[in-house]
Amino acid sequence: MSAIRHPISGTPPRRIGTLVDKTALLAGPGLLYLAVLYAVPLLLLLLQSFRSDDGGFTLVAYTSFFGDTYNLEVLARTLRVAFLTTLLSLAVAYPTAIAMNRAKGIWLTVFLVALVLPMSLGVVVKAFAWSILFRSNGALNQTMESLGLIDAPIRMLFTETALVIGAANVFLPFMVLPIYAVLRQQDDALQHAAASLGASPVFRFFHVSLPLTLPGIVAGAAFVFSLSISMYVIPSLIVGETQQTLPMLIARSFLYLRNEQLGSSISAILLIIAIAVVLFSSWLAARLGAKE
Amino acid sequence: MTHISRRRLLQGAGALAVGSVALPGLVRAQSKELVIGCAGSHTAWMEQIVAPHMRETIGAEILFEGTKSSVNLEKMASNRSNPYLSVVQMDDPVMIQAVEEELLRPMNRSAVPNLADLREGTIHMDGMWANYVQPWAGVAYNTNARDGVASWSALWSDEAKGKVIIPSLQNTEGMWTLFAAAMLATGKPFSEAQYETDAAFAKLEELKPNILTTYSIMSQAFNLLEQGEITMLSGNFSSYTLPRKAEGVPVDLAAPKEGIFAMPSGICLVKDGPNPELADAYVNEMLGADLQAKIAEFATSVPANTKVDAGSIVPSGVPIHSPDWAFVSSNRREWIERFDKLMAG
């Protein structure tokens, strides 16, 4: 077997086997699980999208998808909803993470329970609760009317706004926890040092805290965006069929149109978006990490 | 303290893993178990009436998978080479697709003798499936908001602006609003109007200002009707609305003067499904007078068995329409796409 000479230090050559950390084998079951239950089915799905009726290669499913303005509207809506959900989640999650980072003892437990417990509640139950909140004589409309913000009830049910609010509510923990994890690692001395040098709280936030938490923000945004573009039950319950998203189109293609090629091609498009988000966020996190 | 060697630990873990995987299979193979695909909205009476009845009469443990007809069809198609469902209860238009895809095993009278007692028109395509009970469909309404729904045209009225939800054409009950639109647009009776698709879609477009949303999952829409957020839920059916009314919820089901519809609830045997004899026995019981009477009463539906009195389940003096399901089945995919584009936004 050939040996590899250490490129820098000139230390004695080691066999290739010793270069591989054996603890990496612990990832084996997980990788196998992902390969069998995720990668292989996805690959089959991808191949299906390029297969014509006679078994040959075709791009017709993709050309027909992108040639239909309705599909493009659905694609745009899916991306818009995912983007706005991520933005709203971030706006709510960031201060929450800061508060959690400051909390100690029982208050930290309260925060964590408040964050994790709603995840055990089914989306269907939440959707029913939101319908009570969003309806024309619901709590939101009544509050805004009593505050004089609106003259008459406004329609909130079955709107894109309701979908964004609902989705952000469900996915909030996936934004809070990565930011909180990064905040926990920050050294408080950095804040004190900046303050001692005369930096105002606002200046400290934008020039110390925020840059250091960017990797957490990127990770949280990747989580929430990926979950948002692939959600099916939440839009089905909150906006119904009048404002479809890509996952709803996939279900429709497989279950109702019985068009596996179309369903596979939309799945592939969704997958490409998800992969792009993951790669971009990894690149961004690595770049921010390097800067840090 | 007893030390457990690594080898023994691995052996024990291996035996546990093999046992946990294999034992349920062995137990299942020995038990008389049937997996039935049915509608999600049927879960209540399937659990409360059918399961105990089957345990008592044919000695079978029944496992239900309650979902939409189209999902049941997809499950059958995906598991064609190794089916796990023995019997499926789904709607007629989807049954036609299942027959076309050669997923069903025909029923015969020697194995399912109760077929002989069914009403005329309830056995389809030489016994490929049979209707077991038939709820009737009309317009569900909130009794605090309205006194009733005299005509299907009420859905299009000015006072109903933003107060109506209709089912998607992905759902079988979605067809009723489409046919009502065709009937109102052409002035023809349902039997003729059902073929006037273009007129139906043009009339549906006029309904858009009144539509709060369209649904493929009914529970949320019905909840909004109960809360009074909407006043009418088009195409709803007796097995869903009337039990809620009986519980004191302020809803009722109207039978518009132009006619109501018979929901096409069918039962079929899965081709090459497990436990075929037990599956035959299950279907026979489902079509028998005893169980038919119980289900019909619980689900406020019309029994298929002629030995059971339908009573006053169906409103009198209103025509009941059964559509041309073959026509629906052959056009449904195109209609779904057209409907979704029309209602988008």
- Residue B39 near residue B67, CB atoms below 8 Å: yes
Higher pLDDT, B16 or B217: B217
- Residue-range domain boundaries for chain A: 65-126+154-291
pLDDT at A8 (0 to 100): 46
pLDDT in tens, B42-59: 887 888 899 999 999 999
CB contact under 8 Å between B215 and A241, yes or no, is yes
Alpha helices of chain B — where are they, by DSSP H?
6-30, 43-45, 51-57, 69-78, 92-100, 174-186, 190-193, 197-207, 218-227, 238-246, 276-287, 289-298, 325-343
pLDDT at A84 (0 to 100): 97
Average pLDDT over residues A179-201: 88
Chain B nearest-CA distance from A132, in A, is 8
Considering only CB atoms, B344 lies closest to which of A70, A237, A254, namely A70
pLDDT at B301 (0 to 100): 84
- Say yes or no: A75 contacts chain B, CB-CB below 8 A: no
CB contact under 8 Å between B216 and A128, yes or no, is no
Residue B175 has pLDDT above 90, yes or no: yes
Which overall architecture, per CATH, does domain B136-262+319-343 show?
Answer: 3-Layer(aba) Sandwich (3.40)
CA distance linking residue A255 with residue A72, whole number of Å:
21
Q: Which of B60, B64, B62, B74 lies closest to B39 in space, CA to CA?
A: B64
pLDDT in tens, B290-342: 999 888 888 788 888 988 876 667 787 888 888 898 899 899 989 999 999 99
Considering only CB atoms, A256 lies closest to which of B213, B228, B336, namely B336
Average pLDDT over residues A124-152: 85
User: Which residue from A minimizes the CA distance to B338?
Assistant: A70
Rg of chain A in Å (alpha carbons)? 24
pLDDT at B89 (0 to 100): 94
- Say yes or no: A195 contacts chain B, CB-CB below 8 A: no
For chain A, what is the mean pLDDT?
86
What is the identity of the amino acid at B94? V
> Residue A190 — very low, low, confident or very high, per pLDDT cuts 50/70/90?
confident
Which overall architecture, per CATH, does domain A65-126+154-291 show?
Answer: Orthogonal Bundle (1.10)
pLDDT at A82 (0 to 100): 96
> Residue B226 — very low, low, confident or very high, per pLDDT cuts 50/70/90?
very high
Cα-to-chain-centroid distance, residue B256: 22
- Could you give the percent of chain A with pLDDT greater than 70? 92
pLDDT in tens, A62-96: 999 999 999 999 999 999 999 999 999 999 999 99
Measured CB to CB, residues of chain B less than 8 Å from chain A are 68, 70-71, 73-74, 97, 162, 165, 168, 170, 211-217, 219-221, 223-224, 227-229, 332-333, 336-337, 340-341, 343-345
Fold of the CATH domain B31-134+264-303: D-Maltodextrin-Binding Protein; domain 2 (3.40.190)
CA distance linking residue A1 with residue A12, whole number of Å:
15
Residue B181 has pLDDT above 90, yes or no: yes
User: Which residue from A minimizes the CA distance to B67?
Assistant: A255
Higher pLDDT, B156 or A18: B156
Residue A4 has pLDDT above 50, yes or no: no
For chain B, what is the mean pLDDT?
87
Look-up of token digits 């044919």: B58
pLDDT at B218 (0 to 100): 86
Residue A217 has pLDDT above 80, yes or no: yes
Chain A nearest-CA distance from B280, in A, is 27
- In terms of pTM, does the model score above 0.90? no
Chain region(s) in chain B for CATH 3.40.190.10? 31-134+264-303, 136-262+319-343
Considering only CB atoms, B344 lies closest to which of A237, A242, A252, namely A242
Chain B nearest-CA distance from A135, in A, is 7
> Residue B222 — very low, low, confident or very high, per pLDDT cuts 50/70/90?
very high
Poorest-confidence range of A11-15, A114-118, B203-207? A11-15
For the complex shown, is ipTM > 0.95? no
Considering only CB atoms, B224 lies closest to which of A70, A131, A243, namely A131
Read off the tokens for B39. 């509608």
Which residues of chain A have a CB within 8 Å of the CB of B215?
240-241
Chain A segment 150-179 residues within 8 A of B by beta carbon are: 155, 157-158
